[in-house]
Structure 1
Amino acid sequence: MIDLRTLETFYVVAQTGGFHRAAEKLNTTQPAVSARIAQLEQELKVRLLERDKRGSHLTAKGRELLGYVERIMALRTEMVMAVAGRDGLGGTVQLGVSETIVHTWLPDLLKRLNQEYPSITLEISVDGSANLATALTEGTINVALLIGPVNAGNATNLPLCDYPLSWIVPAQLPLKASQVTLEDLTAFPIITFARRTRPYWQLLELFEKAHLHKVRLFANSSLSSIIRMTLDGIGVAAIPCQVVAEHLATGELRVVETGHEMPVLSFTASFFKRADMPLNSIVADIAQQVAAQHSTK
């Protein structure tokens, strides 16, 4: 009789495209994976996978079986939720998070997940959006909260929030209280996101369009460091005002306007739908809800 574990193994091989990668995902050995697939093919008396130098590929019968396996695994999740409730749905989710989200509503998301799905274990990685997108497509993280969307393959991208960049200055910076110009800002270092990020190049383009070529852009991969440098009076930060809401409220920092339309950071919860990993879509859905609640505050 074909057991569920064997079907899961077949599904992971089909998703990863290789026995070695499937073994890594399943925390087992490649021979063990090969043995399960061989047993499945023997029981069904059909060839399910073809191997070549590039990996493993489903045969026509393999693609047919995959549809049934996906339905079986979805039904298993439905059964667990119906019988055991949310407490019965457990597992580990590798969550990749942009630092902007860390400084805004990530704590609310973690509280909500802990309350509603206490059996979920989260492993959190904080990184830049480009690195998170790569990690998601390579399978080293399951869900990414990042500047999206991720356009690789059949990735699902749920919209989260839009944060425009603002000019954030320390209270003691010698700038007039009324509207300032971009040229006024070039007297100070502009502290912003890392060089390979979208907002960095958008800011550079903004200054170039204004024919201001002597601007000093201080690229920084750490948002915490950008905030600290701004508080210390080193320069003007080009970051979302949401990440420094507390400092704005205390008067340590303030927002200045130049009249120019600023780049907008659009965040998504990106993931790949997997029948064997229902937690991916659950975490992404709740992230979307928390982001919406935070935006209305």
Structure 2
Amino acid sequence: MNLRFVEAFYWVASLKSVTRAAEKLFLTQSAMSSRIAALEEELGVLLLDRRDKQFRLTVAGLRFFTYAQRLLEMQREIKAEMGAGTPQAMTLRLGAIESVLHSWLIPMVEKLQDDHEGLELEMTVETTPVLLDQIRRGALDLIFAALPASMEGLRSRALPPMEMVFVGNAQKMRRRMYRLSDLADVDILTFQRGSQPHVALVDLFRQKKLEPRRVHTISSISAMTQLVEGGFGVATLPLAAAQRLVEHRDLKLLKCDTALQPLPVFATFRADPTSHAVETVVQEVFRYIDSAQGKRARPVAASKKSMT
């Protein structure tokens, strides 16, 4: 039995689409269909119900899916056993929201590259809705987003939420403490409309019966910080990202009498029976995040600039 044909069927069944499976395996749709047809001919049963446009496995297809997963896992184990001591090439298609990119993603990636000589990364920085769609389609292996992805075959884990803060121009915003009502009188920059930071910000002002002068929605942290540095309003940013930015820009963390709602972060990944790469890297990512979180929990001296 040709295991490439088994792998083709596995991903068609997992992603519930011949087209998506073809994209994942870098095949044409016709080549993918040919592999499925050849496997069906060898088994003597139909695996896919082709009577209408809706994706559906036959009874035989449902039964064979379990066998396909076991066959691919066995192939993976044999390769790992027979190739012991040989560095394994690994490809990880990674996606993240901007908040994660500007907080801890880069040092995490640097550590992964140090630990895995054969690791090849394909990185995508997008909004949460786009990332969720891409991992459901099989275009990404691991994402860090503000929401978990729900679909059979996907696993999600809640990560420590990211504290959010107001950031202003260091020359113009000189007060030691601001009330939320003070910030209602300036333009506020936050993430794209409908995102968790945007919705939480609007709800916060409503709860306090305040109406902000203007709320601008911008998907890029770089754009927000450049606008704030130029004197255009106040931005809401993750604390970890803001602490990095104030060291090199004319920005200041603003103390406010009302805390912003933290930004939830979820890691979602799809297990791959053909390779240990994704699960190995995912576990190391979780260890890195847990370790970094423990270090942040220790008391440290605040920088003079962030406290003024």
Q: TM-score, normalised by structure 1?
A: 0.88
Name the structure 2 match of 1:172.
171
Local SS of the residue matching 2:56: strand
1: distance between equivalents of 2:251 and 2:85? 43
Aligned-pair identity (%): 26
Deviations 1:180-204 (A, max 9, x none): 2111112221121111211101101
Aligned partner letter, 2:134 = A
Name the structure 1 match of 2:156.
157
Name the structure 1 match of 2:221.
223
| Equivalence map 1:21-36=2 (5 Å) | 21-36=20-35
Q: Following TM superposition, by how much is the alpha carbon of 1:222 offset from its aligned partner in structure 2, in angstroms?
A: 0.5
Q: Is the 8 A contact 2:15 2:137 kept in 1?
A: no
| Equivalence map 1:191-202=2 (5 Å) | 191-202=189-200
Deviations 1:239-271 (A, max 9, x none): 112102234457943323333232111212112
Q: Following TM superposition, by how much is the alpha carbon of 1:124 offset from its aligned partner in structure 2, in angstroms?
A: 1.0
Deviations 1:37-85 (A, max 9, x none): 3332333233322213224432222222211221121222233333435
1: distance between equivalents of 2:175 and 2:85? 55
Name the structure 1 match of 2:181.
183
Aligned partner letter, 1:137 = R
Question: Structure 1 33/184 Cα, relative in aligned 2: closer, same or farther at 3 Å?
Answer: closer
Q: Give 5+ residue unaligned stretches, structure 2.
A: 297-308
Deviations 1:81-107 (A, max 9, x none): 334358553343321111112112222
2: distance between equivalents of 1:3 and 1:173? 68
Q: Following TM superposition, by how much is the alpha carbon of 1:280 offset from its aligned partner in structure 2, in angstroms?
A: 3.1
Q: Which moved more, 1:56-65 or 1:6-15?
A: 56-65
Q: Give 5+ residue unaligned stretches, structure 1.
A: none
Q: Is the 8 A contact 2:87 2:117 kept in 1?
A: no
Question: Structure 1 30/190 Cα, relative in aligned 2: closer, same or farther at 3 Å?
Answer: closer
1: distance between equivalents of 2:106 and 2:19? 36
Name the structure 2 match of 1:261.
259
Local SS of the residue matching 2:232: coil
Q: Is the 8 A contact 2:112 2:281 kept in 1?
A: yes
Q: Which moved more, 1:165-174 or 1:262-271?
A: 165-174
Name the structure 1 match of 2:53.
54
